[in-house]
Amino acid sequence: MNDDALRALYEEVILDHNRNPRNFLKNPPGAAHHAHGYNPLCGDEFTVHLRVEDGVIRDAGFEGAGCAISTASASLMTEAVRGRTVDEARRLFGSMHNLLTDAGQAGEVGKLQVLAGVKAFPMRVKCATLPWHTLVAALESRAGTVSTEESVPSCEQPHSHRASVNPDDGRRAP
């Protein structure tokens, strides 16, 4: 696939998953693994919910507010991890982190490869990785707020999980 076709696909997938996020506003019944993630640089904020049974992620959902890239990444992530073992999900996190940051060999990521287009916008890489870091924190049942930054200001977790869209910038708001 040439660069122009890949860029068009990237844009199409990001827009689709931003406009119609899969597993959004979903806290699956029986979910016992939760984590809150926040990017203080851009304001992206998500909570990831997982139902894990016998070491397999049976269901996944997320809620929160973020830019198109972070919302699309969270949507794609919840689809990708459902049905995978916890170990497979951790390996997928490593592959995605490597893919998005050029930190090493990406490994097999399937249709998630489309997120590689984020690398063309270095300031947005953290937007794409936030949901993935939050996933790992949920798998580990880590308390506190996960961040893409070294220092995270204390922030309240959202009390209301209603979704609305700001007509000025198209970002989802809690």
List the chain domain ranges: 3-144
For the chain, first and last CA: distance in Å?
A: 38
Paired with 25 in beta bridges are: none
Distance CA 47, CA 12 (A): 25
pLDDT digit string, tens, across residues 66-120? 999 999 999 999 999 999 999 999 999 999 999 998 776 667 888 898 898 888 8
Instruction: Give domain 3-144's CATH number out of 3.90.1010.10, 3.90.700.10, 3.40.50.1820, 3.40.50.620.
Output: 3.90.1010.10
Residue ranges in the chain assigned as alpha helix (H): 3-19, 68-81, 86-101, 125-139
pTM of the model: 0.82
pLDDT for res 169:
46
For the chain, give the mean pLDDT: 85
